[in-house]
C-alpha cells in the first residue's frame, strides 16, 4: 500500500479550468476571456521591445551565473523602490525602507505574509476587500494568518461600495492588517477615486491599521506609472508606513520570469537593516536566493534612460488598448440595441472587468457562443481584440436582452 492512499485530489483551479475547456473547443469564433495575461490586437502574447533590447544587452555582456544575494539584485530592488515610491519620496531618499526581490507578485506577497506571521504580534487578522484575487486567501492562510473581509464591490451598481467599505474599515480592530489593491483591483477593476483614497487613508490611520498594498499593475492600469502609484505614495506621505508587494509580470510582460519585489517602509534606516536581516532568514529556507533573469531585464530597463522611456510608452500603449476595447465593447452593445447600463465597463480599470453577468448568463456564453470566462462574470479585457469585440457584444446582448 502507499503512503499517499489518503491524499485527496486537490480541487481543480477554477481559472485554469476555463483555459482547459477553451483549448478543447473547436469553434473558430471561440474567445478566451479568462486569461490574466496581456494579448495584442491579434490575440497574441506581446514581448515588449524594451524587453528584447534589455535581453540583447544581457547577451552581449556575457555575465556569470553566480548566486544572487538572498535579497536579490541590488540595482533591481533599488529601482523597484524608486518606481513605487517616486524619486522625490522622503522615505526613498532617506533610506528608511527595505526592498527585497521576490518571486513576482505571489512570492513577494508570501514573503510579506510570512514576515507578518513571525513579527507582527498585534494581530493574526488580514482584512481583504470583498472580492479579492483568489490566491490572496490561501497565501495568507498558508503563512499562518486568518482572513477577514471588508465590503468593497457593489454588485447592484458594479462599482465601489464606498460607504460600505468605510463603515467596515471603521470597525476593524486596531492594529489589524488591511490589504489594499494599489490600482486596477483584481477581479473587479473598480478603484477608489483620489478623494475616496484620502478618506480611506484617514480612516486606517485613525484605526492604526497595518496597510499591505498589492501593486501588480503599476503603469498598466491608467498608462501612467505615477498616477497608478498615487495611493501608495499618498498613504506614505500621510505617515502611514506601509508594506508593499510589486509585480513586473504584466507591466513588463515578464510573467514567466517571476520578477517582483517586497518593500517595508520603516521608521529609519537602522530599523530597515534589522527588518532586512529577518527577511533574509525567511527567504533562505524557501528557495535560498531569487532567479536572476527577470530581475536583470527589469533592472536594465528601469536604470537605462532610453529603455525606461521606451518602456513607459509601451506600457501606456498596452493600457490604451485595454481602454479602447472597453470603449468599443460599450459602443457595440449600444449598437446591438442593448438597453442596459454598461457604463461600469468603461468606469472600471485594468485588465479585468466585472461585467455583472450572472452565472446562468455566463454558462450560455460558454455553451452557445464559445466565449469563456469565470463564473463570477469576470472578463479579461486583454483577451478582447478589434476583431472579436463585435462578436462579444452580440453574444452578451443575446444573453441579457
Partner 1 sequence: MAASIFTAVPRAPPVAVFKLTADFREDGDARKVNLGVGAYRTDEGQPWVLPVVKKVEQMIANNNSLNHEYLPILGLPEFRANASRIALGDDSPAIKENRIGSVQSLGGTGALRIGAEFLRRWYNGNNNTATPVYISAPSWENHNSVFVDAGFKDIRTYHYWDAAKRGLDLQGLLDDMEKAPEFSIFILHACAHNPTGTDPTPDQWKQIAAVMKRRFLFPFFDSAYQGFASGSLDKDAWAVRYFVSEGFELFCAQSFSKNFGLYNERVGNLTVVGKDADNVQRVLSQMEKIVRTTWSNPPSQGARIVATTLSSPQLFAEWYDNVKTMADRVLLMRSELRSRLESLGTPGTWNHITEQIGMFSFTGLNPKQVEYMIKEKHIYLMASGRINMCGLTTKNLDYVAKSIHEAVTKIQ
Instruction: Report the catalytic residues.
Output: 133, 214, 250
Q: Which regions of 134-189 does DSSP assign to beta strands (E)?
A: 146-151, 153-154, 159-160, 177-181
In the bound complex, what is the minimum distance in angstroms from residue 328's beta carbon to partner 1? 25
- Residue from 55, 82, 154, 376 touching partner 1 (CB under 8 A): that is 55
Find the binding residues for partner 1 in span 292-311 (CB under 8 A): 292-294
- Residue from 28, 42, 61, 62 touching partner 1 (CB under 8 A): that is 62
Residue 6 near partner 1 by CB under 8 A:
yes
With 0-12 CB in 10 A as exposed, 13-18 as middle and 19+ as buried, what is 367?
Answer: exposed
In the bound complex, what is the minimum distance in angstroms from residue 249's beta carbon to partner 1? 8
In the bound complex, what is the minimum distance in angstroms from residue 303's beta carbon to partner 1? 18
Residue 360 near partner 1 by CB under 8 A:
no
Find the binding residues for partner 1 in span 85-144 (CB under 8 A): 103-107, 110, 119-120, 122, 135, 138-139, 141-143
* 332 φψ region: left (φ > 0), alpha (ψ -120 to 50), beta (else): alpha
158 versus 249: smaller Cβ distance to partner 1: 249
* DSSP string over 335-381: HHT--S--HHHHHS-SSEEE----HHHHHHHHHHH-EE--TT-EEEG
Residue 37 near partner 1 by CB under 8 A:
yes
- Residue from 26, 42, 61, 66 touching partner 1 (CB under 8 A): that is 66
- Residue from 18, 31, 68, 362 touching partner 1 (CB under 8 A): that is 68
Residue 23 near partner 1 by CB under 8 A:
no
In the bound complex, what is the minimum distance in angstroms from residue 341's beta carbon to partner 1? 35
* DSSP string over 45-104: ----HHHHHHHHHHHHHT---PPPPTT--HHHHHHHHHHHH-TT-HHHHHT-EEEEEEEH
In the bound complex, what is the minimum distance in angstroms from residue 338's beta carbon to partner 1? 34
184 versus 259: smaller Cβ distance to partner 1: 259
23 versus 29: smaller Cβ distance to partner 1: 23
Residue 1 near partner 1 by CB under 8 A:
yes
In the bound complex, what is the minimum distance in angstroms from residue 247's beta carbon to partner 1? 10
In the bound complex, what is the minimum distance in angstroms from residue 31's beta carbon to partner 1? 18
Q: Using alpha carbons, list the distances in angstroms from residue 175 to 116, 200, 262, 271.
A: 12, 15, 21, 19
Residue 163 grid cell: 460607504
The number of residues making up the chain comes to 401
Residue 173 near partner 1 by CB under 8 A:
no
Residue 215 near partner 1 by CB under 8 A:
no
Q: At what angle do helices 293-303 and 49-61 cross, to 10 degrees?
A: 110
Residue 327 near partner 1 by CB under 8 A:
no
Long-range pairs for 236-242: beta carbons < 8 A, 24 or more residues apart:
236/85, 236/89, 236/91, 236/265, 237/90, 238/201, 238/202, 238/205, 239/205, 240/201, 240/204, 240/205, 240/211, 241/265, 241/266, 241/267, 242/211, 242/212, 242/213
69 versus 359: smaller Cβ distance to partner 1: 69
126 by DSSP, 3-state: which? strand
CB 176 within 8 A of CB 120: no
101 versus 332: smaller Cβ distance to partner 1: 101
- Residue from 286, 312, 323, 399 touching partner 1 (CB under 8 A): that is 286
Total of residues contacting partner 1 (CB under 8 A): 76
34 versus 192: smaller Cβ distance to partner 1: 34
Find the binding residues for partner 1 in span 242-281 (CB under 8 A): 249, 253-258, 264, 266-267, 271, 273-275, 277-278, 280-281
Residue 14 near partner 1 by CB under 8 A:
no
Nearest-angstrom CA–CA distance, 125 and 168 = 14
Amino acid at each position: 500500500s502507499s503512503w499517499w492512499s489518503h491524499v485527496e485530489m486537490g480541487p481543480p483551479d477554477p481559472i485554469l479550468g476555463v483555459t482547459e475547456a477553451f483549448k478543447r473547443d473547436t469553434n473558430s469564433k471561440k474567445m478566451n476571456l479568462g486569461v490574466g495575461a496581456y494579448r495584442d490586437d491579434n490575440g497574441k502574447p506581446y514581448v515588449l521591445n524594451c524587453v528584447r533590447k534589455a535581453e540583447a544587452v544581457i547577451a552581449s555582456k556575457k555575465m556569470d551565473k553566480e548566486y544572487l544575494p538572498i535579497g536579490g539584485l541590488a540595482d533591481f530592488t533599488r529601482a523597484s523602490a524608486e518606481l513605487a515610491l517616486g524619486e522625490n519620496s522622503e522615505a526613498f531618499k532617506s533610506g528608511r525602507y527595505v526592498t527585497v526581490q521576490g518571486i513576482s507578485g505571489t512570492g513577494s506577497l508570501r514573503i510579506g505574509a510570512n514576515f507578518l506571521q513571525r513579527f507582527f504580534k498585534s494581530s493574526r487578522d488580514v482584512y481583504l476587500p470583498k472580492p479579492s484575487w483568489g490566491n490572496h486567501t490561501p497565501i495568507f492562510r498558508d503563512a499562518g494568518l486568518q482572513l477577514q473581509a471588508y465590503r468593497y464591490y457593489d454588485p447592484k451598481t458594479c462599482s465601489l461600495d464606498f460607504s460600505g467599505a468605510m463603515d467596515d474599515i471603521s470597525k476593524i480592530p486596531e492594529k489589524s492588517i488591511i490589504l489594499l489593491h494599489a490600482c486596477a483591483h483584481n477581479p473587479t477593476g473598480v478603484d477608489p477615486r483620489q478623494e475616496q483614497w484620502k478618506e480611506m487613508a484617514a480612516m486606517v490611520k485613525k484605526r492604526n491599521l497595518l496597510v499591505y498594498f498589492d501593486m501588480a499593475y503599476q503603469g498598466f492600469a491608467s498608462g501612467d506609472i505615477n498616477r497608478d502609484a498615487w495611493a501608495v505614495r499618498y498613504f506614505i506621505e500621510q505617515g502611514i508606513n506601509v508594506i508593499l508587494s510589486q509585480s513586473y509580470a504584466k507591466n513588463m510582460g515578464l510573467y514567466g520570469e517571476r520578477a517582483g519585489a517586497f518593500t517595508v517602509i520603516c521608521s529609519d534606516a537602522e530599523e530597515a537593516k534589522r527588518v532586512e536581516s529577518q527577511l533574509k532568514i525567511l527567504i533562505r529556507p524557501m528557495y535560498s536566493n531569487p532567479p536572476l533573469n527577470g530581475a536583470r531585464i527589469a533592472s536594465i530597463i528601469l536604470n537605462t534612460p532610453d529603455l525606461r522611456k521606451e518602456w513607459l510608452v509601451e506600457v501606456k500603449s498596452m493600457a490604451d488598448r485595454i481602454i479602447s476595447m472597453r470603449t468599443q465593447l460599450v459602443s457595440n452593445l449600444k449598437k446591438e440595441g442593448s438597453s442596459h447600463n454598461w457604463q461600469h465597463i468603461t468606469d472600471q480599470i485594468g485588465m479585468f472587468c466585472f461585467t455583472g453577468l450572472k452565472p446562468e448568463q455566463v454558462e450560455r456564453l460558454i455553451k452557445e457562443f464559445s466565449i469563456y470566462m469565470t463564473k463570477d462574470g469576470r472578463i479579461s479585457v486583454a483577451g478582447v481584440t478589434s476583431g472579436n469585440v463585435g462578436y462579444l457584444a452580440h453574444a452578451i446582448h443575446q444573453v441579457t436582452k
